[in-house]
Amino acid sequence: MTTAAAAPFRFFSLQVVRTRRLGPSLVRVTFDGADLAHFHSEGRDQSLSLFIPAEGRTEPAVPVELGEGWFQGWRELPDDVRAVMRSYTLRELRRDPDEIDIDFVLHGIEPEASPAPGAAHGSAHVGGSPPPAGPASRWASRAAAGDRVILIGPAVADNRAIRFRPPADTDLVVVWGDDTAVPAATAILESLPAGTRVRAWLEVPCAGDVQDVATAADAQIEWVVGGSAEEAIRAADLPAAAHPYVWIAGESGRVKELRRHFVGERGVDRRRVTFVGYWRQGLTEEQLRESGE
């Protein structure tokens, strides 16, 4: 599949290689495909658009043959045919063989009785009611080798769908993410070079969801289990820094509150605060997209 979506992005036709349950409510799905030879990304919080088959179908229906008109054509497909589109972040890209990992939070899916040890983030959302199981959670919970998807991803490594961009003079990185942002946050932490000072707060619903993060950075990572990190962040005595950089991602209402805290209360230059709403309490992704947020 070679039809371009919108440079520097393109469509990728992929299939599941394997899945790995990482914890009570997280599954890592590994994909491969010949198209991945053209997939390039510098990682961090690389955003992707994933298309999975409509319920009861085995192939994701996306009219890529329409070129730049694919989106309108996709929207006009019948509901029971049109592929489900969801936004995710890249967890890892590997070569030889070409593979990518995407971590899925299993909203509303019954946890396994004996989750695998190690990394995970959960399906519950701290500070708000968890959404019911959606089509992507249901798909990921039963994904198997050979299942097919379509992805819109980067054809160039440095692209506008990477939001984590600390200025060169950054002397402190501050990170916050709820469970939906843990894949991006951990990828960011793993990407940081030695000597980078980091304070990070990551929220998960239970202790079994805490990850081991391999980072060369001088990172202090606080996992907040079953609660909100906001009080801890507000009370934190951050290391002295002339040029801090802040990355916050998760539920959009909480993201906005924390942005106000860092800019209004701590005096961080608003141009040095990256904030991303991955979801909004009470809205589906379709409703959020239509709202324009």
Indicate the helix (H) or strand (E) that contains 177. Answer: strand 172-177
Query: Residue 291: what pLDDT?
Result: 56
**pLDDT tens, position by position, 4-20:** 444 799 999 999 999 99
Rg (CA), the chain: 19
**pLDDT tens, position by position, 231-267:** 999 999 999 999 999 999 999 999 999 999 999 999 9
Which of 23, 201, 202, 211 is closest to 104 using CA atoms? Answer: 23
When pLDDT is cut at 50, 70 and 90, the band that residue 290 belongs to is: low
Query: Residue 186: what pLDDT?
Result: 95
d(CA 190, CA 168): 18
The pTM of the full predicted model, rounded to 2 decimals, is 0.86
Per-domain residue ranges for the chain?
4-154, 172-291
**pLDDT tens, position by position, 83-114:** 999 999 999 999 999 999 999 988 666 655 43
Is the model's pLDDT at 130 over the cut of 60?
Answer: no
d(CA 201, CA 46): 20
The answer to whether 4-154 and 172-291 have equal CATH topology is no
Identity (one letter) of the amino acid at 57?
R
Query: Residue 131: what pLDDT?
Result: 52
Query: Residue 113: what pLDDT?
Result: 41
When pLDDT is cut at 50, 70 and 90, the band that residue 26 belongs to is: confident
Query: Residue 1: what pLDDT?
Result: 45
Question: What proportion of the chain, given as a percentage, has pLDDT over 70?
Answer: 85
Which of 249, 285, 292, 288 is closest to 86 using CA atoms? Answer: 285
Which of 55, 49, 122, 117 is closest to 82 using CA atoms? Answer: 55
Record: fold of 172-291 = Rossmann fold (3.40.50)
Here the tokens at position 92 are 């890892």
CATH architecture of 4-154: Beta Barrel (2.40)
Here the tokens at position 266 are 């701590």
* Torsion sign, CA atoms 291, 284, 89, 232: positive
| 3-state SS assignment for residue 281 | coil
User: By CB neighbour count within 10 A (0-12 exposed, 13-18 middle, 19+ buried), where does 188 fall?
Assistant: buried
Neighbour count for residue 100 (Cβ, 10 Å): 24
